[in-house]
Amino acid sequence: MLVTSARPYLVERNLPHFWCPGCGNGIILSAVARAFARLGWERTRTVVVTGIGCFGRADDYLNVNAVHGTHGRALAIATGIKAANPGLHVVALMGDGDCATIGGNHFLHACRRNLTITAVVANNLNYGMTGGQYSATTPAGSTTSTSPLGHAESGLDLCRVAAAAGAMYVARTTVYHVHLLDRYLEAALTHPGFSLVEVMSSCPVYFGRYNRLGGPVEMMERWRKVAVPLEKYGELPEPEREGRVAVGVFADHRGEPFEERYRRVQEAARGARAGEVSER
Ligand SMILES: Cc1ncc(C[n+]2csc(CCOP(=O)(O)OP(=O)(O)O)c2C)c(N)n1
């Protein structure tokens, strides 16, 4: 039933999608399409913006306006679109490489600026499309194609960064917890200001294989096991947090989004200009 209601938002002629068996991207894509359907968003007033990478191909399958941007720049493009036309629903779909790594600076400023844009990040903990290199979210010690002896850096906690930078709504879930994914997406898509839904996702072909996490089923099972509700995660002694992922809502604030502040500045500018013209 859910699939049927999402149909108008999917480009069925492009299906099946090109993602590998066991990849979490299809789960996230269908949740986004279902959310659009539940909210009844007009397709002509909805824009998805993507960068590059496996999840960056998501716009091929969504039957709304789409801009396929360059790696790391989805949020910069989304910012331009929303600022120019605040009446549009603007959603950026990105991988962790796209959002947290190459696009990290755009991400910080999008959180701080608080235009009403929703970022959906498929965090598979590596650069999937180019062969499993480490990204900014790859956990320390992980094996990737560029850290064959174990990753020496620590992974970035995207949700904490977003909350600290001022994003209005921030939540994390996994591809196993689809009910939470549906709930968080709907909350994010209807929240004024910048919102982020980070979805921990499986890449069995690279991250899973390099780290001996088993196949698609085992990786799915693993998300169930390692996910800990945010409140409980906070109570865990430091060593027990190792390998676990806090899921839940990291920020949920109400405030005036950028587009409203910007509209006032525009009005003031028009007023000043009109004054100048009448003085002449
Ligand atoms: C500016 C730029 N640098 C590097 C690349 C090469 N490149 C293409 S996809 C990709 C990795 C994408 O990883 P991520 O954003 O995590 O998405 P995933 O493929 O894992 O879904 C890279 C580095 C590029 N296309 N553009």
Which tens digit of pLDDT belongs to each residue from 202-255?
Answer: 999 999 999 999 999 999 999 999 999 999 999 999 999 999 999 999 999 999
131: how many CB neighbours lie within 10 A of its CB? 12
Place of tokens 């799915």: 220
Is the pLDDT at 4 greater than 60? The verdict is no
3-state helix, strand, coil in the chain (%, to 5): 50, 20, 35
How wide is the angle at C-alpha 76 spanned by C-alphas 270 and 273, nearest 5°? 10
9: how many CB neighbours lie within 10 A of its CB? 22
Regarding the beta carbon of 124 and ligand 1, being less than 6 Å apart is answered yes
Regarding the beta carbon of 97 and ligand 1, being less than 6 Å apart is answered yes
Distance (Å, whole) CA 142 – CA 259: 41
Which residues have C-beta within 8 Å of that of residue 148, sequence separation ≥ 6?
none
User: Residue 124's closest CA among 220, 240, 51?
Assistant: 220
Sheet of 245-252, strand order: 65-68, 46-50, 89-95, 117-123, 195-200, 169-174, 245-252, 227-229
How wide is the angle at C-alpha 41 spanned by C-alphas 52 and 66, nearest 5°? 25
Is the pLDDT at 3 greater than 60? The verdict is no
Report the predicted TM-score, pTM, of the whole model to 2 decimal places: 0.96
Is the pLDDT at 46 greater than 50? The verdict is yes
Q: Whose CA is nearest to atom 26 of ligand 1?
A: 71
Of the chain, the end-to-end C-alpha distance in Å amounts to 65
Regarding the beta carbon of 98 and ligand 1, being less than 6 Å apart is answered yes
- pLDDT higher for 3 or 157? 157
pLDDT digits (tens, 9 = 90+) for 103-153: 999 999 999 999 999 999 999 999 999 999 999 999 999 999 999 999 999
The CATH number fitting domain 2-255, selected from 3.30.365.10, 3.30.450.90, 3.40.50.970, 3.40.309.10: 3.40.50.970
Question: Residue 278: pLDDT band by 50, 70, 90 thresholds?
Answer: confident
- In Å, how far are 34, 120, 121, 122, 170 from 173, measured between CA atoms? 17, 11, 11, 10, 11
Distance (Å, whole) CA 61 – CA 20: 15
Question: Residue 273: pLDDT band by 50, 70, 90 thresholds?
Answer: confident
Give 114 Cα–ligand 1 centroid separation in angstroms: 25
Regarding the beta carbon of 135 and ligand 1, being less than 6 Å apart is answered yes
Regarding the beta carbon of 132 and ligand 1, being less than 6 Å apart is answered no
Average pLDDT, the chain: 96
Distance (Å, whole) CA 201 – CA 26: 10
Q: Whose CA is nearest to atom 11 of ligand 1?
A: 127
Region of poorest pLDDT, from 20-24, 80-84, 268-272, 274-278:
274-278
Give 93 Cα–ligand 1 centroid separation in angstroms: 13
Question: Residue 2: pLDDT band by 50, 70, 90 thresholds?
Answer: very low
* β-sheet bridge partners, residue 90: 47, 117
Q: What is the CA radius of gyration of the chain?
A: 20
Q: Which two tokens stand for residue 194?
A: 């910048």
> Given this model, what pLDDT does residue 1 score?
42
Q: Whose CA is nearest to atom 9 of ligand 1?
A: 53
> Given this model, what pLDDT does residue 274 score?
85
How wide is the angle at C-alpha 250 spanned by C-alphas 198 and 142, nearest 5°? 50
